[in-house]
Structure 1
Amino acid sequence: MALPIQSTAFSDSLVILGAAGLVIPAFARFRVNPVIGFILVGLLVGPFGLGSLVDRAPWLYHVTITDTHSIEPFAEMGIVLLLFSIGLELSFKRLWSMRRAVFGLGAAELIGSALLIGVALHLIGQGWTGSVGMGLALALSSTALVLPMAGMVSPVGRTAFAMLLFEDLALVPIVFALGALAPNAADAGWDGILRTLWQGGLPIAVMLVLGRLLLPRLFGQAARTKSPELFLAASLLVVILSSIATTAAGLSPIVGALLAGLLIAETDYHTEVEVITAPFKGLALGVFLITVGMGLDLKVIAQNWQSLLTAVVGVVLAKAIVTAGLLRLSGASPGVSAETGLLMSSPSETTLIVLATAAQAQLILPSTAAFWQIVTAIGLTITPLLALAGRDIARRVELNRTGEEEEDASVEERTVIVGLGRVGRLVAQVLDAHSRPYIAIDADIDTLRHARKRGYKVMFGDITRPGMIERLGLEAASALVLTMDDRVQLVRTTAQVRALHPDLTIVARARDPNHAAELYRAGASDAVPETLESSLQLSEAVLVDLGVPMGPVIASIHEKRAELRAKIMQMANITHEPPIRRRTLRDAGK
């Protein structure tokens, strides 16, 4: 007996929400990118996984997705919200400053990759119009996956974003160009492109004017109500109306979403909008990735694994070579070029749209489109692995370029600083001011490169990697300073170091008193809670501004710090002064 459509859609929605609720925390716990989790869930519960067994085991209906088309609108909404969030992080001023990278480097990357892939396809027997269509399709990279992994702050993230932004803007002209190449299109297709660009420009101009006038007032009224629900409703209304306007004009809805984000970024409410829409973006993006996983048929992959492997490797290599080569020619460092090249090397979710358009225009056979759709799904699945490989290659390239290996930190007796963020840099500056030798280690290659340019003594090192603690030469170090952000890793590293070096002074950054107590129990000589130190500094500033002499102020602050430290140690069930601290204070007085 067939189930009603409404019941099927409701069941699929429950499976999707349940998958999101399980995948995100489970994979975060094991530090695995949730992208892989969502794709695997789609593969497992989709029509080629457990969904194919529903006829033999009807109970599987409740834990599988039987109607793939019912969740496609949610996946499209995820891409729209992603582009909206990207727009929120931009501004028109920043976008204008990136124009050379977007329309120069971005255009060169897309055209170069499409040309190389298209020529290769033509040489193996594909018609030239089909080669053009598939070359353009496979040259696109995934905005939905690349930006969340690369961010928009690092050199890799900024470079990738410029190229991805051009690809998103070029999507509509590509689709219309393929329509113009159709055998039955004649010259009407090119007229359609010009008409679409003219009709699309008018609503965009109107949106720019109305957005600057109306959006501050709209969100101002929503802010006065102090209602998060109303703020969310206003945000979604702007996104939806902008997407509808550009769709009606013949452009992609993602153009409207990006424009809405840019307009809101110019207001005083962009941070609140970004925070309040983030959960919906993550959930909708997860739905999209589930649909990608549902398109993977393991039987077809097993039957054609050699040709699929060749296709995936060929596309990845072609795009990585073109992207890395263009970045090197533009002056980027070898490490950034290599990492960006691999990160951008897999196909995109929009590749599926362009392939479908090429098949519909009769430029390629449906069987050819289906083959490359599987290649695209596999490429999306391995994107996180390519990102990891890119980081590792970038690290090795940069280390070889600077002529420095992962040196042993035991060259002399010095302080070892783990983590060279804002806290680590300040510690290094103070040690340098007092002519105290130090060496810092950090696992972020961009931080490493910038720190070396500014004169910091730093080497690459990942404290979480097995064997790294032993290689730091802590037996000859004067002290170890732990400044990482990871609360759990701080406690774990402190315990590991204390077990190996019972007499070493360990000073650790703590988030709050409870975290400081954990660090003391793990063996820290000193744990400095950020919340308490900021309160003490505020108190000192207030007393000085009120006219209290500096001597009594400093004495009272020190007394209060000692009192708070005693309470924290009591929380940690430590009833005596750590011997390492006592020795350090006594030696300092000699």
Structure 2
Amino acid sequence: MPDAASNDYSMLRDAVVFLLAAIVVVPLFRHFRVNSIVGYIVAGIVIGPHGLALIRDVEGTHRLAEFGIVFMLFTIGLELSFERLKTMARYVFGLGLAQVVVTGAVLASGALIFGAGWGQAAVIGGALALSSTAFVLQLLSERGELSSHFGRVVLSVLLLQDLAVVPGLAVVTALGSEPEALAWALIVAGLKAIAALGLLLAVGRLVLRPLYRMIAETRSPELFAAATLLVVLATAWGTAAAGLSMALGAFLAGLMLAGTEYRHQIEADIRPARGLLLGLFFMSIGMLLDLATIIPQLPAIIAAVALLISSKALIAAALGWCFRLPLPVAVNAGLHLAQGGEFAFVLFSLAMGAAVLPMEMGQFLLAVVAISMTLTPLLALAGRKVQARLEQRAAGGLEALMTETEGYSDHVVIAGFGRVGRTVAQMLDARDVQWIAIDLDAKNIAQARSRGLQVFFGDAAQDAITAAAGLDRARAAVITLDNPAAAASALRNIKKKLPDIPVIVRARDASNMGELMRGGATSVMPETIESSLLLGGAVLRSLGQAESEIDEVIEFFRRDAVEGGQRAADDEQ
């Protein structure tokens, strides 16, 4: 009995240490504007067995932490749909497959040059070809880029890499046994993967929607949350039992629920668990780093990290360009995918256990992967800056924008030239009002400039861009960005320099109206409310209501929505 009680208290103590480390270290890093992922890793180094040794069950912690990736992939699946996934097929099975094969072959060749055996080279090349799904998707999610064209390209490659783990595990296992077992192991792994995915998709389509409909009728939030946890864990267990990654099964489950009416509630239920477990995962990565081993070999490890990152970035960028991605996007994607990945830890650990890799070589490679993963925020930042610089040159950039607006006055500056921005520009043209537009999407810019429209590359959240657009001489500014964080950032920048200029802002829905009103927006137009009002007006019109009465009703509800947003802003101040 005392042993059991001691064990229970040990688990409780580990949980307290994890929570305390997260609460102390992560806010400190955020205060200095360092990515929270790096904060979690540093916390893991401090509390891990090679630091203060405050955590006892390191292996169990790492297994639990893997559920952070599982929940993250589930929520990403919720944001997609099978229809959108079909549009990604060319990148998944084209660019993604090419990236794994070419990168793996190049890195394996490099390992052979440095003296590794054929089996060791195959493991090293395959493992290092994989990138960090957890790091990269977390960064894309934080920046609201998962639904962008760039985000879908990166996600496509990462999905194929997750699939590539299946033959990777089979190869490592077979290398540890008889050579003739390799082909048979690959065949068995492939058949199990196909059968598991087919069964999962079939059961999901037949069961999930009726299951959630039945549970929703009970009106029990606890039961609804429990059903979501059951779906995530059951699909993760099913794919893991078939030799696939748990994260892939969770992603497919999210994908099957993406088109249902329960998606938003499911996402809200899962968000707290996802964030907590992801933080635990990043801390578990830090716990694997042995500074006593790393520091003596630091020059060699840094050289290997630099070689890995540069090789992977160049290969991925070149392949992206071959698959007709714009060069700025291809370079950005290459830098986002240049680090090692969490599945490399699994493959290298298995290879050391099967005596395929010597222990010293395995530890060296683990250090290279871990350090490269911690550099992911810097690589992403570098990727965005390089893309911005290249696109500025391609789209005219800052100097061309300044030249264009040199004689402008009383014009309108449009930030964002997507569907809504184009409509605003057409309405201004109809009334002979001069305008200039800035956007960050190279595709939008290229299409607009091909039609002779004055659209330039630029971020409205930057002083230099708004100054070049002649905002100080403008009559008004319009922000049509569909990313709430980007819209709020652009509004803050404009109002900081020109507090009196009228700024009309597009809001995705009523939920972020308050923030925009507090930020100084002259007028906020929630897109969902406006479309609802137009639809309601069409219904009343079909019922024979007078046009003046319809206009009066629409104006009443529009005013009520705006005043509600203003009240929310006043209450939070």
TM-score by length of 2: 0.83
Determine if the alignment matches structure 1 residue 237 to structure 2 residue 233.
no
For 2:471, the equivalent position in structure 1 comes to: 474
Question: Is 1:428–1:456's contact at 8 Å kept on the other side of the alignment?
Answer: no
CA distance in 2 between counterparts of 1:169 and 1:568 reads 46
Q: 1:400 aligns with which of 383, 393, 398?
A: 393
Q: Within 5 A, what are the aligned runs for 1:239-278?
A: 239-265=232-258, 268-278=261-271
Q: What one-letter code is carried by the residue in structure 2 that aligns with 1:355?
A: F
CA distance in 1 between counterparts of 2:96 and 2:30 reads 32
Q: CA deviation at 1:71?
A: 1.4
For 2:406, the equivalent position in structure 1 comes to: 410
SS at match of 2:433: coil
Question: Is 2:78–2:255's contact at 8 Å kept on the other side of the alignment?
Answer: yes
Question: Is 1:410–1:474's contact at 8 Å kept on the other side of the alignment?
Answer: no
SS at match of 1:108: helix
Q: Within 5 A, what are the aligned runs for 1:242-391?
A: 242-265=235-258, 268-391=261-384
Instruction: Give the aligned CA root-mean-square deviation in angstroms.
Output: 3.8
Determine if the alignment matches structure 1 residue 77 to structure 2 residue 79.
no
Q: Within 5 A, what are the aligned runs for 1:124-203?
A: 124-150=114-140, 151-182=145-176, 184-203=177-196
Q: CA deviation at 1:200?
A: 4.7
Q: 2:12 aligns with which of 5, 10, 13?
A: 10
Q: CA deviation at 1:470?
A: 3.7
SS at match of 1:4: helix
Over 3 Å counting, the alpha-carbon distance change for 1:368 and 1:398 in structure 2 is same
CA distance in 2 between counterparts of 1:24 and 1:96 reads 38
Question: Is 2:47–2:55's contact at 8 Å kept on the other side of the alignment?
Answer: yes
Q: CA deviation at 1:170?
A: 1.5
Question: Is 2:460–2:490's contact at 8 Å kept on the other side of the alignment?
Answer: no
Question: Is 2:462–2:493's contact at 8 Å kept on the other side of the alignment?
Answer: no
Question: Is 2:413–2:476's contact at 8 Å kept on the other side of the alignment?
Answer: yes
Between 1:330-339 and 1:543-552, the stretch displaced more is 543-552
Question: Is 2:65–2:284's contact at 8 Å kept on the other side of the alignment?
Answer: yes
Q: Which structure would you say has the larger Rg?
A: 1
Question: Is 1:491–1:518's contact at 8 Å kept on the other side of the alignment?
Answer: no
CA distance in 2 between counterparts of 1:217 and 1:123 reads 57
CA distance in 2 between counterparts of 1:561 and 1:92 reads 35
CA distance in 1 between counterparts of 2:80 and 2:554 reads 43
Q: 1:47 aligns with which of 46, 49, 52?
A: 49
For 1:432, the equivalent position in structure 2 comes to: 429
For 1:112, the equivalent position in structure 2 comes to: 102
For 1:121, the equivalent position in structure 2 comes to: 111
SS at match of 1:319: helix
Q: What one-letter code is carried by the residue in structure 2 that aligns with 1:246?
A: T
Q: CA deviation at 1:514?
A: 5.8
Over 3 Å counting, the alpha-carbon distance change for 1:440 and 1:348 in structure 2 is same
Question: Is 2:505–2:524's contact at 8 Å kept on the other side of the alignment?
Answer: yes
SS at match of 1:7: helix
Q: CA deviation at 1:166?
A: 1.5
Over 3 Å counting, the alpha-carbon distance change for 1:100 and 1:471 in structure 2 is closer
Q: What one-letter code is carried by the residue in structure 2 that aligns with 1:160?
A: V
Q: CA deviation at 1:10?
A: 1.2
Question: Is 1:339–1:391's contact at 8 Å kept on the other side of the alignment?
Answer: yes
SS at match of 2:461: coil
User: Identity of paired residues, percent?
Assistant: 36
Q: CA deviation at 1:384?
A: 1.5
CA distance in 1 between counterparts of 2:566 and 2:234 reads 57
Q: What one-letter code is carried by the residue in structure 2 that aligns with 1:146?
A: V
Between 1:334-343 and 1:81-90, the stretch displaced more is 81-90
1:487-527 Cα shifts (integer Å, max 9, x gaps): 7546633542336xx6x5555568688667645xx6x7x43
Structure 2 residue ranges without an equivalent (≥5): none
Q: What one-letter code is carried by the residue in structure 1 that aligns with 2:492?
A: R
SS at match of 1:459: strand
CA distance in 1 between counterparts of 2:568 and 2:124 reads 64
Over 3 Å counting, the alpha-carbon distance change for 1:290 and 1:405 in structure 2 is same
SS at match of 1:410: coil
Determine if the alignment matches structure 1 residue 36 to structure 2 residue 38.
yes
Q: What one-letter code is carried by the residue in structure 2 that aligns with 1:155?
A: H
For 1:458, the equivalent position in structure 2 comes to: 455
CA distance in 2 between counterparts of 1:280 and 1:471 reads 45
For 2:215, the equivalent position in structure 1 comes to: 222
CA distance in 1 between counterparts of 2:275 and 2:83 reads 27
Question: Is 1:9–1:70's contact at 8 Å kept on the other side of the alignment?
Answer: no
CA distance in 2 between counterparts of 1:557 and 1:208 reads 44
CA distance in 1 between counterparts of 2:527 and 2:31 reads 26
Question: Is 2:68–2:280's contact at 8 Å kept on the other side of the alignment?
Answer: yes
Over 3 Å counting, the alpha-carbon distance change for 1:110 and 1:421 in structure 2 is same
Q: What one-letter code is carried by the residue in structure 1 that aligns with 2:154?
A: A
Between 1:24-33 and 1:314-323, the stretch displaced more is 24-33
Question: Is 2:100–2:161's contact at 8 Å kept on the other side of the alignment?
Answer: yes
CA distance in 2 between counterparts of 1:533 and 1:96 reads 30
Q: CA deviation at 1:9?
A: 1.9
Q: CA deviation at 1:335?
A: 1.1
CA distance in 2 between counterparts of 1:329 and 1:101 reads 11
TM-score by length of 1: 0.81
Over 3 Å counting, the alpha-carbon distance change for 1:446 and 1:540 in structure 2 is same
Q: CA deviation at 1:538?
A: 8.0
CA distance in 1 between counterparts of 2:313 and 2:453 reads 32
Q: CA deviation at 1:227?
A: 1.8
1:179-203 Cα shifts (integer Å, max 9, x gaps): 2223x42323433333343345444
Question: Is 2:392–2:458's contact at 8 Å kept on the other side of the alignment?
Answer: no
SS at match of 2:413: strand
